[in-house]
Amino acid sequence: MSDDFTEAQASVLIGTAEKMIEIWNRLSPEKQAALLARFGSEENALAALVTTQLVAPAKS
């Protein structure tokens, strides 16, 4: 497996990460606290959100 991304893959990853950061910022403090308790850090919580978004089936 390569650690290199194509331009398209990088664009999707960056766009998804930006959306997840926007979502994080809109979460209530209680929901943020719950995610922090589960994942240990904001970075880990965001990584989980991004991963979930990237592997989720496409909605039609």
Q: What percent of the chain has a predicted confidence (pLDDT) above 90?
A: 38
Q: What is the pTM of this model?
A: 0.62
Q: CA-CA distances (angstroms) from residue 46 to 2, 6, 24, 43, 60?
A: 23, 22, 8, 5, 25
Element (H, E) at 44: helix 42-55
Listed residue (22, 10, 24) closest to 54, CA to CA: 10
Q: Both tokens of residue 4?
A: 């290199």
Q: Both tokens of residue 3?
A: 């650690």
pLDDT of 33-42, one tens digit each? 999 999 999 9
pLDDT of 7-24, one tens digit each? 999 998 898 888 888 989
- Tokens 């850090």, located at residue: 41
At residue 58, the pLDDT reads 67
